[in-house]
Every structure is written in C-alpha cells, then in structure tokens.
Structure 1
Amino acid sequence: MIPELPLDQVRTLLAVVDEGTFDAAAAALHVTPSAVSQRVKALEQRTGRVLLRRTKPVRPTESGEVVVRYARQLARLERDARGELGMSGAGEPTRVSIAVNADSLATWFLGALTRVPHEPRLCFELRREDEDHTAALLREGLVMAAVTSSPDPVPGCSVRALGRMRYLPVASPAFAEAHLAGPLRDSLAEAPVVVFDRLDDFQDTFVRALPGGRAAASPLRHHVPTSEGFAEAVAAGLGWGMVPEAQADPLLETGRLVRLAPQRSVDVPLFWQQWKLDSPALATVAEAVAATAAEALHG
C-alpha cells in the first residue's frame, strides 16, 4: 500500500525550500523550528528518501524536487478552486510563473502575454534562462511553464512544438571589411566575437559547421548578457555574432549590419512545456503563446 503524503508535511517542505532555512520556514508558517524539522523528517521517513540537502540555503534533492513540484501543483489547484468558488480575496490575481529564454523575451514572447484575456486576472512572473536550461526550472518546480529547446517532457508536464527561431551570422559593415577579408572559416577563427555569457557556444557551433571550419570561434570575446545589448554590440562593431532574425532584419535593412554567409542560418526549435493541470490560467496562457509563436517563428 502506497503511503499518503500529508499536506502539512508537503507544505512545510515547500516552505523550507522557498524560505531557505528551517528557522525562516518556521516563521513563515507560524510554528516552531522543531515542528518544521519533525514534519520534514516524518515526510522523509514516509517516502524513504532524503528530500533536502541541509545546506545554506537549503536545497531539495532530486527526490525533493518531485515533492516540491507536487506541492506547487497542489497550491495552484487550490487557488484555481478557490477562484471558481468565489473564495479568492477581492481582486486577487492568479500568478503564473514562466521560464523563457532571453531572445524570445526580447522578440515575440511579450506579445503573446498581451493576447491573454483580461479575465481571469493574471500576473506573470517571468524567469529568464537559456532555452537549454529552462526545463530544469520546471523539473525543480520553480515555474509552471517554460519555453524550452527540449522536446522531451519533464515528468508531470505536457509539451507542444512552437516553431523554430532563426539566427543569422552578422557584423557591422566596417567590422566585416576590417576583419573578414579572407575565407570565412579562417576569419571567424581570429575575428573578435560577441557572446551572451560564458555558457554561450552558439557562435562556436556555427564556426565548426562551416566547410573546413576550425574548432571554435576566436578567443577574443565580448560578453554581453542581454538580448538587446547583444544585437547592439554587434551592430556597433565590437564583434560578429549570431543575432535572431527578428532583431537582425531591421538592422540589415538600414545597413547597420551585413550577413556574413547569406546562404547560412541556424534554426533553434522551441517547445512549450507546462504542468499537466486542468488550470484555466495555464490554458489561456498556452493558447496565446502558441498563437503568437505560429506568427513569429518558422514552422
């Protein structure tokens, strides 16, 4: 027989993770730290798993992430039910937490949120993260939905394809004239390059894919960790870079950018993942995101 998970213990575990310490969780729950510790230990005994790493701040283990996600889903269902029963506070909006990559946030995603109906009242909590890592926030139960590059659903989540985001290799005309006179594969291995952050290997991947391409782009790198700043840095001539088509096109039309390889681009498939919940709030957001993506992304 599978033991049940008592709600008070589940909610206590979530409070510890959210507050970061047992003492802070106790204050938030208006109980003693001893009571918090006992509830967490009882839940660990019931599940037969260690659920928390006793660090500062406290972190959930892999098993703890499952319980945290379950706790957040329970809280979401409770809020929806209270709303449908008219038990919510006067004018209290529903919070929807979403992980989204910087380039989507800078180009098409905010337009999707403007298409969400005004009723029920929603407020959005957006967390910016690389599309290769947004699924991790879903897995940890930190967000309810995510724009991700992974077609493999996180446990407890559904997934739908949104389309492909196209990136163009570009530089300013002056930069191209000064640094890219020879064969492109050799020039890009030496020319200054703009990258988003230290985890960004997009430019390296493009260089490796060129016929006879080198192992990576130049080690002379400018780190610009915002989507808008990245495109502006390339247009200003700091280096070349892979810029989203939606941002590059206006700059190409005005002559501030030139394409380095007119026949080459890179498409990144994007997917929408969300909790498998019968939640009106999530459903309305998902439809608005899918509709906007169909217009803004390549099929």
Structure 2
Amino acid sequence: MLQSKHSEAFLAVAETGNFEQAAQRLNITASAVTLRLQSLEKSLGHLLIVRERPCKPTQVGQSLLHYLQHSKLLEQNFLQNLTGQTASAFYQVNIATNADSLATWLLPVLKSCLVENQIVVHFQVDDQSQTHHLLEAGLVNACVTTEAQAMKGCSAAYIGTMHYHFVATPAFCQQWFKNGVNRESIRLAPALIFNPKDGMHTDYIQKNFGLNIAQYPHHFIPSSHGFVDAIAMGLGYGWLPYYQAKDFFTNGTLIEVSPALQIDLPLYWHHWKQQSKQLDQITQVLKTTAQSVLQ
C-alpha cells in the first residue's frame, strides 16, 4: 500500500525538482521530505528519485509519477463533477497542446469561455504529434494534436489547420538562398528548430531534401516567442505559423523564402467521451470557432 504522506513527498519532489521547494509545498522541513521519500523507496524496493539539480525520477519513479498524477486527476474530476466546482469556485481542466497553438490562437479562442464559466486551465506543452499520449496516459482531460484517429473511449474532432510559411530575413536570404532553396543551400544554411521533438521541420527536410538533422547546422530554440525573435534577428530560417508571421511580412522584417515550401498542419481536439459540462463548453467553442480563426 502507498502511504499518502510518502506519495505526496515523492510527487512534490518529482514535480518541483527540488527538496526545498517540495518542503515549502507540503509545509514541512526538507529533512522530513527526505525521510518520507526514503521510506517509500525502501517499501517499494526501488530508487525513485535521482538526487541531482534538478532532481529527476528514475524509470520506476516515472511510472509512479504517472500513476499518482493520473489518480490525482481522476479524484479531482470526481470531486469537481460531484460538487460542480473547486474550493476556489473555479473549475479546473487539464489540456495538452503544442507550443505554437498556445502562443497564437488557442487562448484568444478560449478566453471568453474560460472567463464566463469560471474555468482555469493547466496546460501541458508537447509536440503536436505527442500530446495525445498525455491523454492516453490519463494525465490530461483533453488535447490538441495532429492525430486524427480517436483512442478507445475518446472522441476526436477536426478544429482547423495551421499554415506554416518558410521564412527568413531578407539579408539572410541574400546570404544563404540567393541561388534558391535546394539541397546544397539547406545543407549549408543554419536552421531554427523548436526542439529535438520538432518532427514537422526535420521530417520535411528529410523527405524533400534527403538530409537528416545531423547533416545541416541548426539551433534549438524551445520557446515560441524566442523562436520568432531568433528568425527576426536573422539567426536562421524556419517555419512560422501565418498567425505569427503576418505582421513581419507587413513591415518587411521577414519574407517568405519559398511559397512552395509551406506546410499545412491539421489539428484535432481529443477528449474523453464522458466529460464535464465545463469541458463540453470548451469543446463546443473549439469546434465552432477555432477553424475560422486559423483560416
């Protein structure tokens, strides 16, 4: 049996990555957190946390973390559906999404619904090809994903397409693409990629130019706003959603290097078939509004 105090200590350390912050969350001393975690590890017979900075769960610890987060989410959903609200009168939903959606269209679309219905959202960000795994693991109530097929027990609906444009500054184009975009220029020019999971960029280059990520220079910029800034200052080329690129096109900071290299990214909204009234309201807003905003 998992003792709640021991599990809470493990969860706090795993989520904060720090014994001191975990102690503050639980309102106990750091040494008490250590003792509770050690007791849990002894009872399970496995090391759960690697004592680094920041602390990280081991493979067994990761499994326990998912189990506890899933159990916490199920309990939260049950209590919220039973009482209709949280202790603060706001209803909490957990949504997984890709960073570009969160940085551009998602919050403007949801704003009125969240305010009017007193809903708070805990977002988890991952690549658009991976967010549905968080739903499958029970860590979120719903997700924005590129996966079209609904999992068992879930519903999926198409909500729109993000249009990505191949962009760079005029000076960058003159330096690296003056003879056009081809295998040789892609092999030499520095690329901007969101992070190692950014398959949209790397898969496209692999498919169209026959180059894997190790064969061309690239920056990893794991921030939507930092990514835009890096392109605008001429550090490299990359794909930007039209929602982010349009103002730069207007003022001339960026140009579309090649319209032929646009990428269309269809997005789908997945959620459990049995959902709360509040999540159903979010679902209806996304199904009726997102597509027109993305267009």
Q: 1:121 and 1:168, CA in 2 relative to 1: closer, same or farther beyond 3 A?
A: same
Pair member with larger Rg: 1
C-alpha distance in 2 between matches for 1:276 and 1:13: 33
Report the CA distance between 1:139 and its aligned residue: 2.2
Give the corresponding residue for 1:193: 191
* Alpha carbons 2:105, 2:293 under 8 Å: kept: yes
Unaligned runs of 5+ in 2: 15-21, 28-35, 50-56
RMSD: 3.5
Mapping 1:169-180, distance limit 5 Å? 169-180=166-177
Residue range with higher mean Cα deviation, 136-145 or 165-174: 136-145
Q: Quick one: which amino acid aligns to residue 189 of structure 2? A: A
Q: Take 1:200 and 1:136, find their aligned partners in 2: how far apart are those partners?
A: 16
Counterpart selection for 1:94 from 91, 94, 100: 91
* Identical residues among aligned pairs (%): 27
What's the CA shift string for 1:129-186, capped at 9, x where partnerless? 2111212222222211111111233443221111211111111000000111224112
- TM-score normalized by the length of structure 2: 0.75
Partner secondary structure for residue 248 of structure 2: helix
Counterpart position of 1:4: none
Q: What letter matches 1:232 in structure 2?
A: D
Mapped contact 2:187–2:217 kept (Cα < 8 A) = no
SS in 1 for 2:159: strand
Shift of residue 14, structure 1, vs aligned partner? 8.1
Deviation of residue 19 (structure 1)?
A: 4.4
User: Any residues of structure 2 matched to 1:273-292 within 5 Å, and which?
Assistant: 273-292=270-289
| Secondary structure class of the residue paired with 1:114 | helix
- 1:67 Cα deviation (Å)? 8.8
> Secondary structure in 2 aligned to 1:130?
coil
Change (3 A) 1:271 1:66: farther
Instruction: Specify every segment of 5 or more residues in structure 1 that has no aligned partner in the other structure, as ranges.
Output: 1-7, 42-51
What is the SS of the residue equivalent to 1:291?
helix
Match for residue 100 of structure 2?
Answer: 103
Distance in 1 between residues matched to 2:4 and 2:285, nearest whole Å: 31
How far is the alpha carbon of 1:205 from its aligned partner?
A: 2.9
The secondary structure found in structure 1 opposite 2:103 is: helix
2:109 maps to 1:81:
no
Q: Return the alpha-carbon distance in structure 2 between the equivalents of residues 94 and 245 of structure 1.
A: 33
TM-score by length of 1: 0.74
User: How is 1:239-250 mapped onto 2 (pairs within 5 angstroms)?
Assistant: 239-250=236-247
Deviation at 1:209, TM superposition (A): 4.1
Letter in 2 for 1:260: V
Which of residues 109, 118, 122 in structure 2 aligns to 1:121?
118
State the distance in 2 between where 1:137 and 1:13 align: 25
Alignment of structure 1 residues 1-299 onto 2, 5 Å = 18-19=11-12, 55-56=48-49, 57=57, 59=61, 61=63, 69=70, 72-83=73-84, 89=87, 91-116=88-113, 118-185=115-182, 186-210=184-208, 213-216=209-212, 219-298=216-295
Q: Is the partner of 2:48 in helix, strand or coil?
A: coil
